[in-house]
Structure 1
Amino acid sequence: MARQLICSVLLVWVCLGPIAARAEQIAPRDIWPQATAAIDNGDVDTANKKTNELIDLAKAYGIKTFPLYAVSAAALARQASTKGNRIAVDWGYKAADTLDPGSPSVAFTRADSARDQQMWANALPAAASGFAKLFTNYRSRLLSRSDLLIVITLALLVTGVIFSLALFIRYARSMAHDFREIIGKRLRGGSVSVLAFALLFLPLFVWLGPVWLIFYWFVIFFGYARAGERLLILVLALLIAAAPLTLDLLSHWIAGVDGPVVMSAIASEEQAYQPEALRRMQELVNIVPDNAILHLLLGNLLLQEGNEPQAAVHYRRSLELRDSAGAHVNLGNLHFLDNDFSSAITEYQRAEQLDPRMAIAFYNHSIASGETYKFDEQAQKLDQAKRIDRAYIERLSSNPPSQKIVMYRPPISQAWDVSSAIARNGTARTLFGNYSWFDPLLSAQNPISLAGALALVFAPLIFLKRRRHGFAGACIKCGRTFCHRCKSARESSTYCTQCIHIYLKRDGVSLDTKRAKLEEVGDHQSGVLRRNKLFGTFLPGSAQLLEGRTGAGIVGLFAFFFFVGLALLVGRLAPILVPGDLPRLMLRALAIALAVLTWFLLTLPVYRRRAAA
């Protein structure tokens, strides 16, 4: 009887041993404060012990990086360097590199610390390493791309404004000439010239604003422009019309990436431990309890805390809301971790039925089959997984995860959709980070996009309608305007009548008339040259636009304002380089140098030009 009792106790102990062991495991959030407290007290051995304990726990929980703790360790090391505590400095940077080797913030903090100590040989490589690491994780990539697109959008807007001004300077006199001809058919007297001039600024007189004036000039000067300028008018009208939508989308990205849903999806996808994500997701699920993806993400976050029972509760709740392959895979993984391989295989089979294209379901099935010594089934399931996604499965086989099996992680794109749907419904706006969503149709309802769309339509239509009657031109020598009513169409289309007789025909023109005309031409050419130099000095590239060199002018103008915008806005947009004073300084210095170089390349040739004879 005693022997049977002892055997029963041993059997219960063996069965409940793994569960008890898991229950005794603490969360990573409880270990890191112990490590920092130890290093604050100068106890390096305990700090190293707790850091190693955190790394071992990460392997058991399927965590690869601790971004927040890595930044904390780097900041602690920088603070210790100002106090001369070399032991804490070495521990801090070593711990930071261990906790998150790909963190750009850690690299930038190291660069700033080296700069503080005037160790430029270490500071510059560290900053360069930080820039390279910006592209290693989703959040920094997204914010960097958003910053870049904001600067590009602003540079395009300024370029479009200056290009419209160049069109006005080049073609306003010709357009005013045609306006006078059109108005002169109905009115007489001095009011004709006044009305013709006023029509050049029609949007201002009807209270539409200066933005509409830009597109208005695109429309009325389209017929006078050259082929390259016409193409550029259409392209810029489209880009400027899309600018409000672009800025709205970028603001959605910048605000939404730190929302609880997207943050949790990123943490799950990158296997990064974000302590704040769990609390925020729990608050969101309490308000939005009927979303299957939220429960799936919350289950993944609970697994990172080692709380498998609660993770299983949320996976099952996700299945109640929607029978999905991903939830079955993760439930099967929990059974696998508890050594219940038959139940795990049952869940994997259900996942395979729901989504025959999910490679990890077949891969995990093969691993579980191997644990139960079903090697034929293992090979069959592994081959099936490879047929679905060979490259990914071969990477897993060559470098298997510490838990052997692979967790299902909802795609980040799906998290964006869920986050936008929650924000659109307004059910969780009381919680921070649940208000960002983007609707292109709603964003397009703004004056700039409307004006751009109208310009795209009316510029070609008005051009085609007026082309039959012709457009006024301007003499390339004296600048006088003329139309088909002013001179014969058989004569040169680039010279006025007087310049034709002086420069082309060279026929009988009195000396006084010729002298007066030459003085007029000289004054005009000198005025044009002074104007171009003035514009080129303050707006590099605008002189080329005024000269008709559209390609060089528009590229140079955009490049100059892009570099200027980068120098002014670096570090002021999305918070990527918050701990990086040196990287901001490097970017600003590089942008200023490129802006100055662009200015010299575009402006110095304008200064060397002389007025044509």
Structure 2
Amino acid sequence: MAFAPVVGEAASALADDWIKVQQALATGDREEVSDRIRQLQTRASECQALRLTPYAEGLVTWASRHPGPLGALAVRSARELDPELPSSYFLFARWQWQRRDLLGAARSYIAGWWALFLFEPTRAMLGAATIEWVVLALGWALLLAALAQTLTFITRLAHDAMELARLVLRPANAVVLAAAILVLPLFGGRGPIWLLMYLFALSFVYMALGQRIAAVATCVVLALVVPALTVWQYTMLRWPPLPTRLASMLEERRIDFPSLHELGDLGGELGGDFSYHMLYGELQRMHGDVDQARIEFQKAIRAAAGESGPRVFLGNVALEDGDVQLAIQLYNDAIQSDPRNALAHRNLSFAYDQARRFKDGDTARRTAKEIAGVGWQDLGIPGRDPRIQYPRLGREDIDAALAQLPSETDAPTWLSSAEDHFVRALFSPMSMVFWLCGILGLVVLAVRGRWMWTAQRCSRCGKTFCAKCKTATESDALCSQCISVFLKRDLVAIDQQLAKQARVRRWDIVSTVARRVASALIPGSHDLAERRPWLGLATGVLAWICLLGAVIWAPWALPSVDPYLAIAPVQFILGAGFLALWLRSVVGAWPGR
């Protein structure tokens, strides 16, 4: 049984290979560029680094400034270095669009969006921008819906305020008192939002049951907008915590130099911790710096002499460097520390085979099979030689390595901070206006429903009336004059009938124009007025999400997520959505009353 000898050359640092790629790009020689990129991929595969994100980003950036055959080669190579990097797809889609390859551009564009969701950094940035956009659009749409409902009932509210004031003061002074009742928040030094929500709360009594439920829900959602944005600020806007980034690096075998350097900066606090040196050494090895990895594994042995893990790592490095005897010694030391370490037995069997000690190799192999069972061949991560496997580190090792960090750098503290800010934001002035609005509306509804009249609007002429000022009782939907004119024609003079009919025509024109203008400015307002509150709210919210997305979110947020992402298709889709919802609102309100 013969084995090829392990190559005795240490892995070059990936950064050195990347410099050679840059030099080849500067020469413009496609063959040399391909060779250097293949060399970079080979070095990365030796370290089991599967996603070379920084180098893929560098190739895409270079290609964006050098379109042509060499740029296309750089983009294809970037996809090979990191298949989930969205920038390579978006840049290629832009080139295909310029060549009028519309189908290919669409495929690349869709593939770029798919990669955008798969790639953790861009997914987090996109999520942060999207949440802000949706929450702000939701708040704005609900505020406009409250404005539309308030304007619908403002004449009835003014009538009831006037009637209430007449019970207390003479008519001349009653007007002043009624105005003071309507603008009461302004006397307390509050702003227009307080005034709007105050009038909206007083309007609950004029609404149907479904409208009242929707109004209370509107107040609750608006009160939660500020806390939601606070949580968004303290969670989504933060860079993912270091444990999360390290776990992603190990799971995806992804190169991430900033996170590696951040972990290295913690050496002053964690320098004597065994788990820290194991984690830092494995990440250094994954990034191609075998010498630094060897130093970290040696520090891990000094930190915990009885642990077998660092000896397995060092034995693997020695075996890959061609020092078979040192590898055998280190594997035996590891087995002495932990006789049940199946990976040490497995790698020791391969080291014995390299030393032509086949009998000892068979014995070590049998021991590994007895300990690990049928999966003894796949106990770890392959190294430069796939027959050599390294221990697999995971989330537990990260938690153990960072367990000694101060609490302010730990992820749960961030969550607790976000929760604290959320609770405080619930009772901030911006949230309190909506909480108080909902409570005031329910209180006024209960009081007025039991002890006070409620004004109505005549269905024919639009005049506002209440039980105190109405003399005829033949119809609840008509005012006294309309009852006399349209139900008691013989008792009313012709000139009075003509005057009333003219008023009805004027009201038809005014109400129709107001309804159409409102539906054009506030999508969904017609459904709100027609007692379809949920349909009106859904129309308004979706319309404003589309409009703000096309005007603000797409041109301002998406370029920060990926600079090569074309925003025109996104704006077109969102603009078409807004146009469809706007037309639905306008067309529904266009017929006459």
Compute the TM-score of the two structures, normalised by the length of structure 2.
0.78
Q: Which residue of 2 aligns with 1:595?
A: 578
Correspondence list, 1:219-298, <5 A: 219-257=201-239, 262-283=244-265, 286=268, 298=280
- Identical residues among aligned pairs (%): 22
Corresponding position of 2:371? 377
Any residues of structure 2 matched to 1:26-65 within 5 Å, and which? 26-65=12-51
Pick closer, same or farther for the CA change 1:44–1:161 going to 2, 3 Å: same
**Cα separation, partners in 2 of 1:119 and 1:233, compared to 1, 3 Å:** same
Give 3-state SS (helix, strand or coil) of 2:451's partner. Answer: coil
Q: 1:479 aligns with which of 437, 442, 462?
A: 462
2:145 and 2:540 in contact (8 A); partners too: no
Q: Which amino acid aligns with 1:309?
A: R
| Cα distance change, pair 284–119 in 1 and its aligned pair in 2 (3 A) | farther
- Distance in structure 2 (CA, Å) of the matches to 1:26 and 1:547: 73
Task: Check 1:576–1:253 CA distance in 2 against 1; reply closer, same or farther (3 A cut).
Answer: farther
Shift of 1:39: 2.5
The whole-number CA distance in structure 1 between the counterparts of 2:387 and 2:162 is 79
Which stretch of structure 1 is more off in the superposition, 335-344 or 545-554? Answer: 335-344
Give distance in 2, aligned partners of 1:114 and 1:135: 22
Residue 606 of structure 1 deviates from its aligned partner by 2.5
| Alpha-carbon contact 1:329-1:347 (below 8 Å) kept | yes
Query: Does residue 496 in structure 1 map to residue 496 in structure 2?
Result: no
What is aligned with 1:466? 448
Tell me the equivalent position of 2:546.
563
Residue 247 to residue 140, structure 1, CA distance change in 2 (3 Å): same
Structure 1 match to 2:200: 218
User: Conserved in 1, the CA contact under 8 Å of 2:275 and 2:300?
Assistant: no
1:493 to 1:333, Cα distance in 2 relative to 1, 3 A: farther
Q: Identify which of 316, 326, 334 aligns with 2:313.
A: 334
Is residue 308 of structure 1 aligned with residue 293 of structure 2?
A: yes
SS in 1 for 2:204: coil
Q: State the Cα deviation string for residues 135-181 of structure 1 (Å, max 9, x = none).
A: 21222222222222222112212211211111211111222222223
Report the Cα offset of residue 284 of structure 1.
5.3
Deviation track 1:373-408 (CA, whole Å, cap 9, x = no partner) reads 3434323999xx9xxxxxxx9xx9xxx999465321
Q: CA deviation at 1:366?
A: 11
Distance 1:293 1:249 in 2: 33
Please tell me the residue identity of whatever aligns with 1:215: M
Number of the residue aligned with 2:324: none
* Deviation for aligned residue 1:448: 1.6
User: Is 1:511 the equivalent of 2:497?
Assistant: no
Take 1:462 and 1:401, find their aligned partners in 2: how far apart are those partners? 79
TM-score (norm 1): 0.76
Task: Give the residue type in structure 1 aligned to 2:42.
Answer: D
- For the 8 Å contact 2:147–2:200, the answer to whether it is kept is no
Q: CA deviation at 1:491?
A: 5.7
CA distances 1:529-587 after superposition (whole Å, capped 9, x unpaired) = 01111122333322333343323322222222111111112141265543225x21111
**Residues 93/381 of structure 1: CA separation in 2 closer, same or farther (3 Å cut):** closer
Matched-pair contact (CA < 8 Å) for 2:150–2:199: yes
Deviation at 1:21, TM superposition (A): 5.5
Distance 1:286 1:519, change over 3 A: farther
Residue 182 of structure 2 is aligned to residue 196 of structure 1: no
Pick closer, same or farther for the CA change 1:293–1:407 going to 2, 3 Å.
closer
The farther-off stretch of 468-477 and 96-105 is 468-477
Partner Cα distance (1:514, 1:415) in 2 = 90
1:585 to 565, 568, 576: 568
| Kept after mapping to 1: 8 A contact 2:57/2:78 | yes
The 1:116–1:187 alpha-carbon spacing in structure 2 relative to 1, beyond 3 Å, is same
Whole-angstrom CA distance in 1 between matches of 2:130 and 2:66: 34
Residues 346-392 of structure 1, C-alpha deviations (whole Å, 9 max, x = no match): 99999xxxxxxxxxxx997998899563434323999xx9xxxxxxx
Distance 1:157 1:345, change over 3 A: farther
Partner of residue 103 from structure 1, selected from 56, 68, 85: 85
Tell me the distance in 1 between the aligned counterparts of 2:474 and 2:435.
38
In the superposition, relative to structure 1, how do residues 381 and 124 fare at CA in structure 2: closer, same or farther (>3 Å)?
closer
Amino acid at match of 1:167: Q
Given that 1:155 and 1:558 are in contact with CA atoms closer than 8 Å, whether structure 2 keeps it comes out as yes
Instruction: Summarize the Cα distance change of 1:203–1:78 in structure 2 as closer, same or farther, 3 Å threshold.
Output: same
Count of aligned pairs: 547
Q: Which moved more, 1:498-507 or 1:103-112?
A: 498-507
Q: 1:155, 1:164 → 2: CA distance?
A: 14
Higher relative contact order (CA 8 A, sep 6+): 2
Equivalences for 1:518-597 in 2 at 5 Å? 518-568=501-551, 569-573=553-557, 576-581=560-565, 583-597=566-580
Aligned residue number for residue 74 of structure 1: 60
* 1:112 paired residue number: 94
CA apart distance, 1:468: 0.7
Q: Tell me if structure 1 keeps the 8 A contact 2:273–2:300.
A: no
CA contact (8 A) 1:563 1:594 kept: yes
Report the AA paired with residue 492 of structure 2. Answer: V
1:101-157: per-residue Cα shift (whole Å, max 9, x none)?
111111112122333445444323211211111121222222222222222112212
Tell whether the 8 Å contact from 1:139 to 1:257 is kept in structure 2 after alignment: no
Q: Specify the code of the residue in structure 2 equivalent to 1:545.
A: L
CA distance in 1: counterparts of 2:303 and 2:435, whole angstroms: 45
Task: Specify the SS of the correspondent of 1:572.
Answer: helix
**Any gaps of 5 or more consecutive residues in structure 1?**
1-16, 321-327, 351-361, 386-392, 428-432
